[in-house]
Amino acid sequence: MPRCLFIAVVFGCTLILAANAQDGPKDSVVLIIRHAEDATSGQGISPRGEERAEAYKNYFLNFTVDSKRREPDVIFAAKDSKQSHRPRLTVEPFARAAKLPIDTGFGNKQSTELAADLCANHQGKVILICWRHGDIPDLLRALGASPESLLPHGKWPGSVYDWMILLRYDQDGRLVPGSARRISEHLLPGDFQ
């Protein structure tokens, strides 16, 4: 899709979103994680981060919401930057196992554009998003959720890697009351309690 057409579609979806008070993709579940642990240097993830990325493979292949199996249908990871490829590297093992592509078309500062794309193109799906922790509050706001109700002081702590935010949307694209929650994954020994 030509870039100007894409921008027009995103802008149009943003206007529709505002007009309809739709916060997320209709009849969907959005799962938000932060990238795995940083490597000591470079753009990658540490050995513990690699373990976490591998653990996500089985975690998401067997993921359930309210006792119903809900394996992700779509995967987004924040665009690679000069400093970090960590979001993509975190979800690669699951993506390979599930035979799903990873969409890395949106950067950290494009939460509104990502939310509009989800509303326009990913209704009725389970959507996995791997983002950088400092930008997750903006992503939550763009999806109609309150970071203050899901994260301590509205921020994702820098030392926490094993949380996931779950957002469920109804047929009108509004958050299902009481469904937005933070989940402690407990994937690896020593994870946050």
Number of folded domains that form the chain: 1
Q: What CATH number has the domain bearing residue 26? A: 3.40.50.1240
Residue 133 lies in a domain: yes
Average pLDDT over residues 161-184: 95
Mean pLDDT (the chain, rounded): 89
Residue 123 lies in a domain: yes
Average pLDDT over residues 20-30: 84
Between residues 97 and 7, which one has the greater pLDDT? 97
- Picking from 59, 62, 13, 15, the residue whose alpha carbon sits closest to that of residue 36 is 59
Residue 79 lies in a domain: yes
Res. 1: pLDDT tops 70: no
Instruction: Write phi, then psi, for 38 (nearest 5 degrees).
Output: -70, 145
Residue 88 lies in a domain: yes
Q: How do the residues of the chain divide into helix, strand and coil, expressed in percent and rounded to 5?
A: 40, 20, 45
Instruction: Look at residue 193 in the predicted model and tell me its pLDDT.
Output: 57
Average pLDDT over residues 150-167: 96
- Picking from 168, 155, 167, 164, the residue whose alpha carbon sits closest to that of residue 187 is 164
Residue 191 lies in a domain: no
Residue 193 lies in a domain: no
Average pLDDT over residues 14-41: 79
Q: How many CB atoms lie within 10 A of CB 168?
A: 21
**Lowest-pLDDT choice from 65-74, 90-99, 122-131, 158-167:** 65-74
Average pLDDT over residues 40-66: 92
Instruction: Look at residue 43 in the predicted model and tell me its pLDDT.
Output: 85
Q: Is the dihedral of CA 144, 86, 70, 159 positive or negative?
A: negative
Residue 122 lies in a domain: yes
pLDDT band for position 2 (cuts 50, 70, 90):
low
Domain span including residue 51: 3-184
Q: How many CB atoms lie within 10 A of CB 169?
A: 27
Q: Calculate what percentage of the chain has a pLDDT beyond 70.
A: 88
Residue 190 lies in a domain: no
Q: Calculate what percentage of the chain has a pLDDT beyond 90.
A: 74
pTM of structure: 0.87
